């Protein structure tokens, strides 16, 4: 007899797992995803990626605002397992108690490191050399359940949160499918809660580059915030979004934020330690472009200075 399962997920990160489950020998009773949100210039309601996949597959889709309201419906389904991948809502204990084999979560870090909302971005930003996927049994505390299995991957020097996001999403799907046949008998290991660290949600003010930081720190931050929400800086009254940057030569005597060189290949900027070469940039609302293309329409001279204004609206 195949497992009777329920899936809960919302963003692109959950898509590989749902696609894999559609091909697995189990009975998907329902798919939960967050309510449609307004998006775009017209602020029209936009369904989540998971809702689109589930609807195309002919599955039952549920989008409650409060999951507690679903308890009678879930209990009537008598599921064996609830699988959660980046769902975005906290599940009450009464829900966790319903599935016969419990509830499992696919999380994008090597727990207990980087519990919370932005584990991929925070791992890159912190300079971690590796991260991975954790499959854990869910309890009521945030990302603190017992670990069923983990798979690690190196964080490469050119990884952005976008490239790492896709790699981890695929790893999570693969490990989920590998684990499913033995889920009823799998043992789990408690996390060392004293080693826990938290990946706080990224705030708008964080996206503004503080040029007093070192080039090493800023290069990691640019990669961590690409493709969203993107690092940004101010020049006069305009905003420049930074998509790609690399460390440049050693420091000059200029103050942090000063533009040392502006040419077809890079804009070199003094930081608190070392220099940072901007390679790919973007004006808000416009397409990404090389620095050379940007300079054709936006003359920048050495000696000008970028500045840090975190209170300015950070929408792109």
CATH numbers and ranges of domains, the chain: 3-199 (3.40.50.170), 204-297 (3.10.25.10)
pLDDT of residue 39: 75
Question: For residue 313, what pLDDT band results from cuts at 50, 70 and 90?
Answer: very low
Percent of the chain residues past pLDDT 70, beyond the cut: 96
pLDDT of residue 1: 56
Residue 206, pLDDT above cutoff 50: yes
Q: Which one is predicted more confidently, 222 or 40?
A: 222
Whole-Å CA distances, 181 to 25, 37, 101, 178: 9, 35, 12, 7
- The model's pLDDT over 174-190, given as tens digits with 9 standing for 90+, comes to 999 999 999 988 999 99
- The model's pLDDT over 50-66, given as tens digits with 9 standing for 90+, comes to 999 999 999 999 999 98
DSSP bridge pairs for 269: 259, 276
Mean pLDDT to the nearest integer, 131-152: 96
Residue 35, pLDDT above cutoff 70: yes
Task: Look at phi and psi of residue 193 and say left if phi exceeds 0, alpha if psi is from -120 to 50, else beta.
Answer: alpha
Question: For residue 90, what pLDDT band results from cuts at 50, 70 and 90?
Answer: confident
The residue ranges of DSSP E strands in 33-186, in sequence order, are 37-39, 44-46, 61-62, 81-85, 103-107, 115-116, 130-137, 147-154
Count of all residues that appear for the chain in the document: 316
């Amino acid at each position: 007899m195949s497992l009777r399962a329920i899936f809960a997920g919302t963003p692109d990160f959950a898509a590989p797992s749902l696609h894999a489950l559609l091909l697995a020998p189990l009975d998907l009773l329902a798919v939960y995803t967050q309510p449609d949100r307004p998006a775009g210039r017209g602020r029209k309601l936009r369904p989540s990626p998971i809702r689109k996949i589930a609807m195309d597959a002919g599955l039952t889709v549920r989008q409650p605002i409060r999951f507690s309201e679903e308890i009678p419906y879930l209990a009537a389904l008598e599921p064996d397992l609830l699988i959660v991948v980046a769902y975005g809502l906290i599940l009450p204990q009464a829900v966790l108690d319903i599935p016969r084999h419990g509830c499992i979560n696919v999380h994008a870090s090597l727990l207990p490191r980087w519990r919370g909302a932005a584990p991929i971005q925070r791992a890159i930003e912190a300079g971690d050399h590796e991260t991975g996927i954790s499959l854990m049994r869910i309890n009521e505390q945030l990302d603190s359940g017992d670990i069923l299995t983990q798979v690690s991957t190196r964080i490469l020097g050119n990884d952005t949160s976008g490239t790492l996001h896709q790699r981890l999403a695929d790893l999570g799907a693969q490990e989920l499918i590998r684990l499913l046949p033995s889920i009823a008998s799998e043992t789990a290991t408690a996390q060392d809660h004293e080693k826990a660290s938290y990946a706080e949600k990224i705030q708008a003010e964080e996206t503004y580059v503080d040029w007093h930081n070192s080039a090493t720190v800023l290069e990691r931050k640019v990669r961590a915030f690409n493709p969203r929400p993107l690092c940004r800086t101010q020049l006069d009254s305009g905003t420049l979004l930074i998509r790609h940057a690399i460390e440049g030569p050693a420091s000059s005597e200029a103050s942090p934020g000063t533009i040392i060189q502006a040419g077809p290949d890079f804009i070199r900027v003094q930081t608190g330690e070392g220099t940072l070469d901007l390679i790919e940039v973007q004006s808000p609302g416009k397409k990404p472009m090389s620095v050379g293309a940007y300079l054709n329409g936006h003359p920048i001279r050495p000696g000008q200075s970028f500045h840090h204004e975190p209170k300015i609206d950070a929408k792109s």
